[in-house]
Structure 1
Amino acid sequence: MLSVYLYIPNVIGYLRVLMNCVAFGVCFSNKRLFSVLYFLRFVSTFGAVLDMVTDSVLVELLLLCRPGMIFLLLLALDIASHWFQMYSTFLSGKVSHKDVKDSTSWLFKLYYGYRPFMAYCCVACEVLYIALFLLAEKNSENLTDVLVSSVKRCSALSFLLVVSLFGWTIKQAVNVIQMKTAADVCVLYDIAKKA
């Protein structure tokens, strides 16, 4: 039993959680250190040990750093779409939540079927949130003001913000498609169960 807790990918996961706790502990007092720690935990486990739950929680925490209804709605969409997708995967007997071969959405199939594209969208989403966090002069600054002032600055961070906007948009669209598709699976399961 102890060997499971000390399994190397699990130990890396524990380190990621610890690094994230430290990052969010300094997020308002030292934005640069926060950004370095945030991305260090992402890059260090890219690939084989990328943990969906840990990553989702981190994005949600990052969204909570920005006040406003839009960020709360994005937070709810991200959590709900992933929850529905995981649950519908369980109901349909699939091995992975990324198995969307039977989907009618070309975007959904492209997202989960072409891993480099999915990686770009996921990283772009996190880069956008980090860039917004770093570009805001004060934590209560209006999102529109942050976007307008960042485009005027023409800095490297502004460039990252603009480049990541496409991937972020795709990821939000996929979240909506994912939630709708997974909700349909749950409804069809209920109908079949009652019949």
Structure 2
Amino acid sequence: MAPRRRNAPVDVDAEEALGLATAQSENVFLFVPNLIGYTRIILAGVSLHFMSYHPIYCTIAYCVSCLLDAVDGQAARALGQTSKFGAVLDMVTDRCTTSCLLCYLSSVYPDYALGFQFLIALDFSSHYMHMYSSLVTGSSSHKHINNDVSRILRWYYNDPLTLFVVCAANELFFVSLYLMKWTSTPIGLPDYIPWSKTLTYAQLFALFSAPVCATKNIINVVQLWKASKILVGVDIAERKKLKKI
């Protein structure tokens, strides 16, 4: 297996890192992409506030928060403001925002609560394992994947359009499930189309986005498995090194 190492990690301990952050010769907290990240968090909070009683405000705030996910990365690269803090902030915001929506869906679809809980666990565990395996192998970013590691992960992470479409459709599926509890007005399709008399826009969006959502979670499974194998490989390498000492 080819290594994923791009840049060696900076040799700095926790105490020195805290000192640098406190001195703030360059305020990473106020980088433009990180400000966008804070905006995403605020919008996610607004959506959670309205989630139980105002679907329009909730959906608008949630969708704008998700769409800004495509902006912060571009801003970071354009302004030369990429940072480890920003990368983690982005990932944590994604995970928490989706998980909060899934928690709500568990309450409105109690028969499927176990499934939603599984998706939350899979999402968190796969991304945590993937991020950690990237760190221990010295990769400069969790998005830097070689074909030797995983073709599907390389396809997913290294093509910005693919990453955006898959993530957007994944969120669209969950938002559609949310809206299905609030909307009952049929689209008004011709009678010869199946379910034409009862099909709503929310149901239609859910049908179209469901395959992509399934693909996203298959990718999560692959990500979890590959990260686990990488960590085991690192363990084996370290144990061999210790035995030689």
| TM-score, normalised with respect to structure 1 | 0.85
Distance 1:187 1:152 in 2: 54
Larger-Rg structure: 2
**1:151–1:158: 8 Å Cα contact kept in structure 2?**
no
Aligned match of 2:71: 47
- Per mean C-alpha deviation after superposition, the further-off stretch among 154-163 and 41-50 is 41-50
- Report the CA distance shift for 1:171/1:152 in structure 2 as closer, same or farther (over 3 A): farther
Distance 1:23 1:45 in 2: 16
Aligned match of 2:39: 15
- Report the CA distance shift for 1:187/1:113 in structure 2 as closer, same or farther (over 3 A): same
**2:43–2:65: 8 Å Cα contact kept in structure 1?**
yes
Distance 1:112 1:7 in 2: 23
- Report the CA distance shift for 1:179/1:152 in structure 2 as closer, same or farther (over 3 A): farther
Name the aligned partner's letter for residue 168 of structure 1.
C
Matches within 5 A, 1:9-158: 9-49=33-73, 51-67=90-106, 68-103=113-148, 105-136=150-181, 153-158=198-203
Report Cα offsets for 1:81-101 as digits up to 9, x if no partner.
000000000111111111221
SS in 2 for 1:178: helix
Name the aligned partner's letter for residue 75 of structure 1.
I
**1:103–1:109: 8 Å Cα contact kept in structure 2?**
no
User: Could you tell me how far 1:13 is from its partner in structure 2?
Assistant: 1.9
Within the candidate set 205, 220, 233, 1:160 is matched to: 205
**2:133–2:231: 8 Å Cα contact kept in structure 1?**
yes
SS in 1 for 2:146: coil
Q: CA RMSD in A?
A: 2.2
Higher share in helix:
1
Q: Percentage identity across aligned positions? A: 27
**1:125–1:167: 8 Å Cα contact kept in structure 2?**
yes
Distance 2:104 2:62 in 1: 13
Structure number with greater CO (CA < 8 Å, separation at least 6) is: 1
Distance 1:193 1:178 in 2: 22
| TM-score, normalised with respect to structure 2 | 0.69
Name the aligned partner's letter for residue 40 of structure 2.
R
TM superposition outliers: structure 1 runs of 4+ over 6 Å:
none
User: Could you tell me how far 1:11 is from its partner in structure 2?
Assistant: 2.3
Distance 1:162 1:83 in 2: 29
Aligned residues: 184
Name the aligned partner's letter for residue 86 of structure 1.
M
Report Cα offsets for 1:59-115 as digits up to 9, x if no partner.
111111111000000000000000000000011111111122144543223212322
- Per mean C-alpha deviation after superposition, the further-off stretch among 179-188 and 10-19 is 10-19
Q: What 5-or-longer segments of structure 1 have no aligned partner?
A: 138-149
- Per mean C-alpha deviation after superposition, the further-off stretch among 97-106 and 161-170 is 97-106
Distance 1:168 1:90 in 2: 27
User: Could you tell me how far 1:159 is from its partner in structure 2?
Assistant: 2.0
Name the aligned partner's letter for residue 71 of structure 1.
F
**1:27–1:34: 8 Å Cα contact kept in structure 2?**
yes
Q: What 5-or-longer segments of structure 2 have no aligned partner?
A: 1-23, 75-89, 107-112, 183-194, 241-245
